[in-house]
Amino acid sequence: MTNQANNITVHVKYGNLEKTFIGKPEDVWLSINKFFSEFLPTFEIVKRITLSIDLQKLLKDLEDIIAFSPEGPNILIPKNKLTDNETLALWLLAHYIGFHLGKIENDALAKEELQIKLGKTPKITGTRLSELVKNEIIKKTPDEKYKTTTFGVLQMQKEMLPRIKTKMSS
C-alpha cells in the first residue's frame, strides 16, 4: 500500500465556508477538530448577531392580519383601526411575505400603488413613506419603489404587530 491509499479526504461546508482536509485519518481528525474549535464559535456568534427572519413565526404572527387571495395580498383589518404608517408598513410586509412564499413576483410597490392602498393624498403618502424610510422600516429601491427591510420586518414583528393585535381586539 502506498501513502496515498492510506489518506482520507473530508470536505466540510458550513455556511459560506468550505474546507477540505486530506491526509492520514488521525491527522485529518485532528485538523477537523481544530477547525471546529477555532471557527465554529465565531460563526455561531456571527449567526446570533445577523438579522434573519423566521418566516414560519412571521406567518403565525400575521394570522388574521394578512391573507392572500388569487388577486394578491390583502390586509384584513379596517383602515380606520390603523395609523397611516401601520397601513403602509403592513402592505409592504404583505408583499414581502407574498414574494417569499412565491405568491407574487415582486416585493416592492410604487408610491402611487401605496397611495391608492392608503387612500390619502400624494403629499401625506410621501411624508409617511419618508418617515418609514428614516426609521429603516422600509427602503426605496433603485427603481423608485418601496420595500420592507429585514430590520423593518423584525421591528414590525416586535413592536407594530402586537399594537395592531391589541387594536383588533378592542
Same domain, 65 and 115: yes
**123 and 164: one domain?**
yes
Which range of residues forms the domain containing residue 38?
A: 3-49
User: What's residue 47's pLDDT?
Assistant: 73
CB-based contact 106:78 (threshold 8 Å): no
Note whether 34 and 103 are same-domain residues. no
pLDDT at residue 3, rounded to an integer: 56
Per-residue pLDDT of the chain (170 residues; tens, 9 = 90+): 445 678 999 998 877 778 899 999 888 888 888 887 777 777 777 777 777 888 999 999 999 999 999 999 999 999 899 999 999 999 999 999 999 999 999 999 999 999 999 999 999 999 999 999 999 999 999 999 999 999 999 999 999 999 999 988 87
Cα angle value 17/99/107 (rounded, 5°): 100
What is the reported pLDDT for 98?
95
Are residues 101 and 42 located together in one domain of the fold? Answer: no
- The rounded distance, in Å, linking the Cα atoms of 29 and 57 is 38
Cell of 119: 387612500
Distance CA 73, CA 69 (A): 6
Residue labelled with grid coordinates 465554529: 40
Q: What is the dihedral of CA 117, 122, 126, 127, to 10 degrees?
A: -110
Identify whether residues 121 and 137 lie together within a single domain.
Answer: yes
Asked if 74 and 154 sit in the same domain, the reply is: yes
Q: Which residues contact 166 (CB under 8 A, 6 or more apart)?
A: none
Q: 100: Cβ–Cβ under 8 A, 6 or more apart, which residues? A: 55, 107
Cα separation, 15 vs 27, whole angstroms:
24
If asked whether residues 37 and 70 sit together in one domain, one would say no
| CATH number, domain containing residue 131 | 1.10.10.10
Q: 85 and 28 in one domain?
A: no
Same structural domain for residues 73 and 22? no
Q: Are residues 143 and 66 in the same domain?
A: yes
Structural domain total, the chain? 2
